[in-house]
Amino acid sequence: MHLSELPTPAAVVDHDVLRRNCDTMATRLATQGIALRPHVKTHKCPEIARLQGGQGIAVSTVAEVQGFAAAGFEDQVLAVPLAPARIPEVLALARRLSLAVLVDDGAVAAALARAAAEAGQRLSVWIKVDCGYHRAGVDPEGAEVLALARQLQDDAHLDLAGLLTHAGHSYDCVDRGGITQVAEQEARVTVRCAERLRAADVAVPQVSIGSTPTLSVTVDRTGVTEGRPGNYVFHDLHQAGIQSCELGDIALSVVATVIGRYRSRGTLVLDAGALALSKDPGPSHLGGAQEGGRICRLDGTPVPGLRLTGLSQEHGKVSVDPACPEPGLAVGDRVRILPNHSCLVSALHPQLHVVRRDRVVDRWQPVRGW
């Protein structure tokens, strides 16, 4: 099937760009002597995880654990703090595969220990530390991390796998200089915490870091053992905006059809709305971001003067700048939209259409739900 024959809206993955993104990151981490554990939440497709390579995967939901286990992925880290009610499911899954979890709360660690003891299992547990993002994780310089590490080390049913962090604040950067500073902080803070724990006689086998922006730059990562980038397989306008990638590295796009052309109002309407593009505003801290993404022709060429100005459920409203050349788009014509945030966009689509140049060569079904 030709790209122009896809029913729209359709999420499209450029296989060659995807493959290049996978190879670039794998090489970058290998050069630094860091093991790659890709975070598969971005795509939720076993086919893509196989292209990424690495030593197992990181996942964000129990549904992903199940879906990737069914596809043969036997080494997984559930890299979101665990809701205590999910402990029985996690222990059941950990009997079938190498599944580690993370904790940043002593009460959850205690609940895990009790459940593992009752089930007669051992479970591998990472401590999540906060390297500056301030979302999840314990303070790497406080007393709590040492207490938690000792709690895990002393438990007969839990094994401390190491320290794990995510520099999500790299998304707030404006350029590679800023990303480099966050990347240095991410490695430094986490390695220093590991050294402090080791000085207190806690064995810390691994130090795992990761975000696509920070892993797009090379800094001193002595002591880091593992990287967990996710978004880099697809990249998106946010990554390009903060200089974590080039526009040509964006592997995911949404093909849409022009379903309305309103010359007197200077607008178009596309059949891709909030359910095809998400309402993620993109890198709005940089200015100039637009709802939904950037409109290109099917071959990827940008269309000057077109701007997505409003997304409702199934409509994408586009303003046409009268100062730019007439875009020459009529009802029925197709466009390709580079997304603001590829993780959210890919999660909205029942399938991803894989293209090579302008041919659809495969369809991949992502895992859904929680």
By the criterion CB under 8 A, which residues form the site for its own copies? 5, 7-9, 41, 60-62, 80-86, 104-105, 107-108, 111, 130, 134-136, 139, 142, 168, 257, 259-262, 264-265, 267, 269, 271, 274-276, 278-281, 310, 312-315, 317, 330-332, 343-344, 347-350, 368-370
Q: Are 183 and 217 in contact (CB under 8 A)?
A: yes
Nearer to its own copies (CB atom), residue 62 or residue 252: 62
Measured CA to CA, the distance from residue 295 to residue 254 in angstroms comes to 9
Nearer to its own copies (CB atom), residue 20 or residue 261: 261
- Least Cβ distance, residue 354 to its own copies (angstroms): 17
- Least Cβ distance, residue 351 to its own copies (angstroms): 8
Q: How many residues does the chain have?
A: 370
Measured CA to CA, the distance from residue 181 to residue 162 in angstroms comes to 23
Does residue 215 sit in helix, strand or coil?
helix
- Least Cβ distance, residue 369 to its own copies (angstroms): 4
Q: Which helix (H) or strand (E) holds 59?
A: strand 57-59
Q: Which residue has the tokens 């060659």?
A: 16
- Least Cβ distance, residue 33 to its own copies (angstroms): 29
Nearer to its own copies (CB atom), residue 135 or residue 359: 135
Q: Are 339 and 320 in contact (CB under 8 A)?
A: no
Nearer to its own copies (CB atom), residue 288 or residue 332: 332
Nearer to its own copies (CB atom), residue 51 or residue 111: 111
- Least Cβ distance, residue 279 to its own copies (angstroms): 4
